[in-house]
Amino acid sequence: MFESFIIASALVLFRCAAFVAFLPPVAGRSIPNTVKIGLAVALTVVLAPRFAGASAIGLMATVHGKGAWLWLSWLAVRETMLGIALAWLFGLCLVPVRIAGAWIAQEMGLTMAQISSATDNQQSNIISQGFEAIGVLMFFGLNLHHAMFVVLGSSFASRPAAAAWSMPTWDAVMYAITKVEHQGFLIIAPIGILMFVVTMTLLVTMRTAPQFNFMTYGMTLRLAVGLAGMILFFPDVCSAMQHFLNQVNTESWVAHG
């Protein structure tokens, strides 16, 4: 029984470690690896005494059986993939913010200035970096990390480490992805409408006055209008981010409850 409990605790560690390693607010290069390892071990110490016992009972019949190592290897891979999937789902919380920043930066002509993202190893622009910083602050300010740990803990109750369980349907996954893109455009809707009006005005002006150079005057005007729109509608952008994160927080607690 003790050997089965140790193996079940190791499976819990696999899921927690994968969750911590791929979670966007923690997966960035700015977080030391020792902090990530410590967080994964701390989560395992908290969750293993509660959930590893039931998994150990299911493992007792297979630990000493034929092909036990092959079965345990499959369980380790499955726990790792589930941890990555949970981290990816919570990572979708910051994707709308990144989409909003990328769209505004493209309209303002700032996509050529690429810098390293603070939340992952990808390249991003300065507008997305600012929006992501605000999103991360709201993520922790709205206590969404509490719901994140609660969902991780409840996953061991709904999908035990050594038991059979079904994967989420493709409908739920596609709904989450499409909702993220939809929320990204809602966040910067006022600025997007303003930039669209400015672009159409510049195109009409260039059509009526061919001597008007779009690259010479239009890019400068779009940059100035974009900066003015960000300053003017900054409270609305923050309010839209807060509304989306509050909705994610509520849905997480409802799914747990």
What CA–CA distances, in Å, run from 212 to 123, 159, 215, 223? 34, 63, 9, 17
Is the pTM value of this prediction over 0.85? no
- The whole-number pLDDT of residue 255 equals 57
pLDDT of residue 126: 79
10-residue stretch averages of pLDDT, the chain, 257 residues long: 74 88 73 83 85 63 63 83 84 82 81 57 72 84 82 80 68 70 84 86 77 70 86 89 81 60
Q: Is the sign of the CA dihedral 80, 82, 85, 90 positive or negative?
A: negative
Amino acid at 91: G
Q: What is the per-residue pLDDT for 112?
A: 63
Segments of 65-198 assigned E as strands: 114-116, 123-125
- Alpha carbons 8 and 52: distance in angstroms, whole number: 5
